[in-house]
Structure 1
């Protein structure tokens, strides 16, 4: 996947950590970290992005990486939920308490953590920090865990163009920010390169994350209903927890949804809708979290930019739905596009 930083971490959640962290976000431990703390136990810490654990997407992929590290290294890790409307100061306080409690590495799951990670990492140079979806922090103890989301989205666009019968497909972004523009740009290019007659309808749920663009399934469902009414029979959502509403609407209208970040066909919470999830544009957040943990465990924490791509397995398109895997036309087009991106003959736009 990519060259991630890892976790060599120490300490378990103490009562002081639980009390202090609850002031700026509820604490949510992994299954392996639910036992009481014991001196010398090690663990990594995740500070969740909006939507928190249970989004069946971005945050849950990070949780899977934490669980994998706990299982392999015997860690007792922790994960902390966000609060509605929290400030950068709240995030700083959260990361400070995790660092003081001995967790290492500490990973901010989402670009909103960039200012806090930059500030706290400077105060704790012996702790390795990770930030998912941000490449702006240049520090000796910070790993920027980023992805070529536009590449997986391009493949999603190819699949959508091959699957549509109405020649209209939709893109729903959670928040109107540069990161989500990458998903849209890749998807549109994939559609248009595959079938120029297909129209792509794009919509963003909110201007800012604080307005709930990544955490409101009802907003996603309403937006999808509008696109379906306008003729879309394939809808791709890059909207975190809000994407669950998009998938629900797609299932209700018996059209295709395309998932994001995780293989949403396999998510338990979406099981009743899975036959409507054609594929998912995945990024290996699980691998990024685990590899950062492993590097710290091995005593060689990786830092700097760690970017996942199609070439290194950091992004991909899922094939869990038999309707996708057995469709020869879609498979041929996707495989051709993937080869073109890898050999450089296809240059995918990121905006």
Structure 2
């Protein structure tokens, strides 16, 4: 729950909702760093203890939730990221992260001096795939000449591989990088270690604005899972136990975005204007991103 990324974003959201409603109404317990087999045992224990909502935070938990949910029909099970519609007592959630990728891409396209930017992703699937393609769309929207180098570690937590891929991209001329999930910290550390080469980063987690490597981070977005948790509680109280997908986007306040105000003049007024307009259009539903059209 302290990975400054995927797990922490959900943990912080639940704690925020618990603070809002009070611990008397929202009881929270968690298990972390678990393989799917162990997570299944933990989830069954929570269900046996009559927890109303059990969130299995990761697409890798789809099978265990699908198998377990029919055994506990009064319990609401949740997993994501996934756009699937689950059973009658299963919710899914899917960040439409092409939106956050698009904003970071706009910055990358306007900041790069080499017209080469790098993207170090975990796997080409789920919300990571959407983020990657949104980033490409944003970069090309602000700079048609930009070349986006895309590589995947094949893992959400392989910091070493992410660092290696980032170094390869920088050697190939990339002067701006991005990436998502926990593994992105490996790439960010490689960027920070090359600070003398004037290489920049845009992140997919707000906490990257406060880490030791933050002087190289121009902006970052985060998933605001409080939106998901609040919807889950409201649905549960209304008698709806599942069967729906919950999206996250700027329109429903499922994302937060922030600039790094400490980086100085590199974030020019023109960059801020372009990003702020795109964010406003996304929030208003005026800008639709065809992320599926981007092929790697």
1:98-247 matches, cutoff 5 A? 98-206=46-154, 213-238=155-180, 240-247=181-188
Once the two structures are TM-superposed, the CA of residue 106 in structure 1 deviates from its matched residue by 0.4
Gaps in structure 1 of 5+ consecutive residues: 1-52, 207-212
Per mean C-alpha deviation after superposition, the further-off stretch among 107-116 and 312-321 is 312-321
Deviations 1:104-145 (A, max 9, x none): 210010111111112222211111121121122432222211
Gaps of 5+ in 2: none
Query: Residues 185-241 of structure 1, C-alpha deviation per residue, up to 9 Å, x if partnerless?
Result: 1111111111111110100012xxxxxx21122222111111111111111111x22
- Any idea what SS the aligned residue of 1:81 has? coil
Matched residue, 1:41 = none
Provide the rounded CA distance (Å) in 1 between the counterparts of 2:6 and 2:185: 12
Please give the TM-score of this superposition, normalised by the length of structure 2.
0.87
Instruction: Work out the number of aligned pairs and report it.
Output: 284
In angstroms, what is the RMSD of aligned CA positions? 2.3
Report the counterpart of residue 229 of structure 2 in structure 1.
289
**In structure 2, how many angstroms separate the alpha carbons of the residues matched to 1:106 and 1:169?**
39
Q: State the secondary structure of the residue aligned to 2:214.
A: helix
Residues 70-79 or 220-229, more deviating: 70-79
Which residue, 22, 25, 32 being the options, matches 1:81?
Answer: 32
User: Counterparts of 2:103 and 2:40 in 1: how far apart (Å)?
Assistant: 37
Q: What is the TM-score of this pair, normalised by structure 1?
A: 0.74
Indicate if the aligned counterparts of 2:81 and 2:126 stay in contact, CA closer than 8 A: no
SS for the counterpart of 2:3 is: coil
Q: Distance in 2 between matches of 1:264 and 1:58?
A: 11
- 1:93 matched residue in structure 2: 41
Work out which of the residue numbers 242, 257, 282 in structure 2 matches 1:317.
257
How far does residue 348 in structure 1 lie from its aligned partner after superposition?
3.3
The Cα shift of 1:172 comes to 0.7
| 1:97 Cα offset (Å) | 1.5
1:251 paired with 2:199, answer no
CA gap 1:292/1:222 in 2 versus in 1, 3 angstroms: same
The answer (yes or no) to whether the contact 1:132–1:146 under 8 Å persists in 2 is yes
Residue 149 of structure 1, CA deviation: 0.7
CA distance in 2, matches of 1:346, 1:291: 24
